[in-house]
Structure 1
Amino acid sequence: MVELRALFGSEQSVLGTAAIEDFERLFIAADKLETLLADSAGNSQHDQMNALAAVRGYAEMLREELGSEVQALDDALLRLLKAVSTAQEGATGNPELDSGDVGLRASEPGFILAVDDLQENRELVARYLSRSGHLVVTAGSGEEALRTLAETDVDVVLLDLMMPVMDGREVLRRIKEHPEWRATPVIVISGSQDMAGIIACIEAGADDYLFKPFNPVLLQARIKAGIERKRWHDREQQYREQLERNEKFIRATFGRYLSDEIVTDILERPEGLELGGDLREVTIMMSDIRGFTTLSEHLAPAQVVTMLNRYLGAMTDIIMSFNGTIDEFIGDAILAVFGAPQRREDDADRAVRCALAMQGAMAAMNAQNLAEGLPALATGIALNTGVVIAGNIGSERRSKYGFVGHPMNVTSRIEDHCRGDEILISDSTLQQLRGDYEVSDRRELSIKGIEQSVVVHRIRERNNV
């Protein structure tokens, strides 16, 4: 540094400390290039391209820093750049692109990760891009690059291929296989001119490939395109996440009023909201609390609501766990259907098992009621199987997924005859069952509005005698 300052003499005040330091780096790079050229047989083209890149880079930055203040130095630097261009063309067979008159729109500032095992290359790229407003971090190895990606959100990766231990190809592979990094643009910058290697990098997911010494204007253009791709991906990802949050909110909200299957049917099928229905064979369940009106007369409103919500909440969870569709709550009564909107082969059996689980849950619920000074509850449950119309019923302004048909009325009438803690099933449901249950107490019910009597049976689990 002392010799360099002495060489410039009185020009030091014009050059400034930063320019002198860049001259020093330029001379170091030139010395390295001279050594490599002197022993070209023992050095790879990649090493020579690295040295050329350093010479070119510092020469271009010095021309920008000095301007025309020191004309003699500017002329010398220009001749040097032309020599580098000629050397590059001779080494690669590719003419240098003239970017002097190219107008490049300023890029949106990005967060750039420059990966290269040579410190001078990292410093050069960082200085180039920092002057354009980018935030640049560097990594001297593949392992360090992966650690940086794990800790920060990078917009573009500039990746050298020739690195010890973990080379650029392995880094590229790991980036593109990682679910959170694969969308990050990777621009390979290498002195290698091997076409097969270039194709392999592109096929592995590299977004672009630049040769050393790189053209700074071309590099800026590539980075600009990469940042824009990353921004579009990030916005698209945010949009998808917002859609997912909205869908979860819709499912959670409407799931309080409709079954999960109905919500899914509405959200995933365009025709899900159309009015109309079709014929379905279903097993209908109707359940209510025996003597609830009388119980309510002796309780405060808040106690009634607490007791009712506890009952309906527990029963809802059980019905949904057996894939039942809750049609509606009618006071303390629950109307549910098994077999629509999705039909399953075991609809009747699931309805019976669900009813048995509901009755089985009453003991724990009543224990909690009694502990809070509330009365014990007893429920009756009726099951009936038949063909109904299932679909969207109502008007364009207000509709519901519901069920219409004679079997619905029959189920309601059967439920009227249920005693506390009793499950009654119709003969049509019994014929559909495949499981092993205890069926007893056959009854013929005369139901108002129905000419023929309805045969029902009391059903319990086989071991629950």
Structure 2
Amino acid sequence: MPAAHQPAPSARSTAGREPQRLHEPHGGGHDPYTPINQILGYTRLLVASLQGKVAPQHIEDIRNIELASRKLLTIVQAMENGDEDAPSSVKVSIPSPHEEPAVHAEIEGSGRGTILVVDDSRGNRDVLCRVLQNNGYRTASAEDGPRALGLAARERFDAVLLDVNMPGISGLGVLSALRQSRSQAELPVIMVTTRGASEDVVESLKLGANDHVTKPIDFDILLGRLDTQLTLKRSREQLSQLAAELSVKSEFIRKTFGRYLSDDVVNRLLSSPEAQLLGGEEREVTIMMTDLRSFTTMTESMPPDVVMRLLNGYLGEMARIIVARGGTIIEFIGDAILALFGAPFPAGDDTRRAVACALEMQIAMDAVNEKNSAEGLPTLQMGIALNTGPVVVGNIGSEARTKYGVVGAQVNLTSRIESCTVGRQILIADTTRRAAGAGLLLGQSHALAVKGFSNRVLVHEVLGLDNPERLYLPERRVEILSLSSPLPVVCARLAGKRVEGEPQSAFILGLSPFGAVLRLHPRPAPFTNLQIHPSGALAEQLGGELHAKVIELDARAEDVVRIHFTSSPPGLAAFVQKLHRAEA
């Protein structure tokens, strides 16, 4: 039989047979799924828009068109897969339609998000935009890569639906360019690939695609995956916004707490869930109390803004030093400071750091006063007391208002010790001396009778701290001018602000702007507060009374003490200067 009349070999008997391929259109780039996909999309849109508006048989006719399209789709898929049962006589050639370039820069629709649809087929773009708009999305579209990238640069889109197969810049090229400036979290991209093009799926995921769908597009799957990506995007944006708000609040908290606490303590408090709970615990701490000498008397005639400028300049510098040394400022009480070392969190060297802090604060007062003098403000003198012992620390108050506080007898004891200090002096309890370690340089020591404590309390004057801190107070002893003619005065002992006992006659034997040598009998104990009234011409020259504290007993005479002025009248400095000239 001539070859022309021989039967064609069957599909079952041909080894290595290539699967049947549908005719590609001229120029390539268009597959048979595209028009079928458009038919399915439009029939879906027609059913949705005409339901209830036309006779039921017309809806049924449209559904029959959809059914026939799905049957045709099955035939095409079978031929693509080389199925021998597929009708071999069917050849499908899809012409490449001539289209005018179309870019919809206007965003149409509203509601659930804005989607950029990128496809070189006008029909595909149209059906996808219509489906998306019918489901509450706003849309814009572009027919090629350059226009898509231009739109993405100018407009804000919530997601991109991007076809892989496009002339010029492919969808993969567009995806790669988008990912140069927009992450997967910022701009979700869903790729549209042809069936069986697994290499495109793998490559798109490597380039940063969020998901993919295949042609012909199942619109329910597309809408579900788009909704998932937009939900994830919104969740990420909300988390990012919450993180930003939390960062702002955290920074505010850190800055606020940072005025009172060290960075380490702030970090530990913010990371501890128990830090906000009401309640306290007993802990061994070193308590610091400071106070300015005669601040109330000094400022009672000053304008309020000047008082606040003077006070804030002083407190700001002292607070900086306390926080730098790891102390916790509990509160400012007028011109006084209450701080703790060893709470809320203890360290191994709390007491020693407290002593170093007190020395650094007294040393810094010179710079504070230099600034005050330059601004025409008065000179300040501060006393500091340190005491180490058990206290109860924790959150005090209510659920509505809470503060971190300290209570206990040791707090009261610290206050009593502080009241014994004079300007530029540091007094520490013996418990603090023992806990501070080696290297303390001490001045005089005294056993104080303290109200509320049955035994006398031993206190020491601190002058410095050796290695490794090497902090030393400058020499504060001012030469007192001995007077050839003692000045008669009347002294009254003070208990707080109240005069205790009968006033007694006394004589000033020596005088300086900061203190004096005084003869009186019986002489008072160290740290006794005195109110001194000049008499006659002296009272007129000084312009007021003196307040002083006994700081030293003369070992050579039983009726002589050295005192330090805690408050002096305005004429004292000029009077001392006049005496110096006369004695010279």
TM-score, length-normalised on structure 1? 0.68
By how many angstroms is 1:336 displaced? 0.3
Aligned to 1:443: 445
- Separation in 2 of the partners of 1:36 and 1:434? 93
Does the 8 A contact of 2:441 with 2:462 survive in 1? yes
Does the 8 A contact of 1:284 with 1:411 survive in 2? yes
For structure 1, the 5+ residue unaligned runs are: 1-32, 95-105
Aligned to 2:464: 460
RMSD of Structure 2 on Structure 1 (CA): 4.8
Q: Which of 395, 404, 410 pairs up with 1:401? A: 404
- Separation in 2 of the partners of 1:148 and 1:338? 62
Aligned to 1:323: 326
Q: Superposition pairs for residues 50-65 of structure 1, below 5 Å?
A: 51-59=31-39
By how many angstroms is 1:322 displaced? 2.9
1:371 and 2:371 correspond: no
Q: 1:143 to 1:253 in 2, by over 3 A?
A: farther
By how many angstroms is 1:324 displaced? 1.7
Secondary structure at the aligned position of 1:361 is classed as helix
Aligned to 2:350: 347
- Separation in 2 of the partners of 1:209 and 1:410? 75
Give, as a single letter, the amino acid of the residue that structure 1 aligns with 2:458: V
- Separation in 2 of the partners of 1:142 and 1:285? 71
By how many angstroms is 1:331 displaced? 1.8
- When structure 1 is superposed on structure 2, of 55-64 and 215-224 the one drifting more is 55-64
1:87 and 2:76 correspond: yes
Does the 8 A contact of 1:191 with 1:212 survive in 2? yes
Q: Superposition pairs for residues 276-287 of structure 1, below 5 Å?
A: 276-287=279-290
- Separation in 1 of the partners of 2:440 and 2:260? 34
By how many angstroms is 1:332 displaced? 0.8
- Separation in 1 of the partners of 2:217 and 2:449? 91
Secondary structure at the aligned position of 2:307 is classed as helix
Q: Kindly tell me the number of residue pairs found equivalent between the two proteins.
A: 406
Q: 1:390 to 1:222 in 2, by over 3 A?
A: same
- The CA deviation string for residues 50-83 of structure 1, in whole angstroms up to 9 with x for no partner, is 5234433555577769x999xxxx9999967754
- Separation in 2 of the partners of 1:151 and 1:319? 54
Q: 1:447 to 1:126 in 2, by over 3 A?
A: farther
- The CA deviation string for residues 100-155 of structure 1, in whole angstroms up to 9 with x for no partner, is xxxxxx9944222446xxx615883366226615233559559975x977776532
Identity among equivalent pairs (%):
35
By how many angstroms is 1:335 displaced? 0.4
Q: Superposition pairs for residues 298-317 of structure 1, below 5 Å?
A: 298-317=301-320
Q: Superposition pairs for residues 24-173 of structure 1, below 5 Å?
A: 36=24, 51-59=31-39, 83-84=72-73, 86-91=75-80, 108-114=111-117, 120-121=120-121, 124-125=124-125, 128-129=128-129, 132=133, 133-136=137-140, 138=142, 153-160=156-163, 168=172, 171=175
- Separation in 1 of the partners of 2:311 and 2:440? 30
- Separation in 1 of the partners of 2:440 and 2:154? 63
Does the 8 A contact of 1:379 with 1:419 survive in 2? yes
- Separation in 2 of the partners of 1:168 and 1:454? 84
1:182 and 2:185 correspond: yes
Q: 1:210 to 1:142 in 2, by over 3 A?
A: farther
- Separation in 1 of the partners of 2:362 and 2:403? 28
For structure 2, the 5+ residue unaligned runs are: 1-20, 84-108, 475-584
Does the 8 A contact of 1:113 with 1:156 survive in 2? yes
Q: 1:431 to 1:157 in 2, by over 3 A?
A: farther
Does the 8 A contact of 1:157 with 1:187 survive in 2? yes
Structure with greater helix share of residues: 1
- Separation in 1 of the partners of 2:367 and 2:224? 70
Give, as a single letter, the amino acid of the residue that structure 1 aligns with 2:128: Y
Does the 8 A contact of 2:425 with 2:461 survive in 1? no
Give, as a single letter, the amino acid of the residue that structure 2 aligns with 1:227: L
- When structure 1 is superposed on structure 2, of 357-366 and 78-87 the one drifting more is 78-87
Q: Superposition pairs for residues 184-223 of structure 1, below 5 Å?
A: 184-191=187-194, 193=196, 207-223=210-226
- Separation in 2 of the partners of 1:138 and 1:360? 73
Give, as a single letter, the amino acid of the residue that structure 1 aligns with 2:77: Q
Does the 8 A contact of 1:172 with 1:186 survive in 2? no
Greater RCO structure (CA 8 Å; 6+ sep): 1
TM-score, length-normalised on structure 2? 0.56
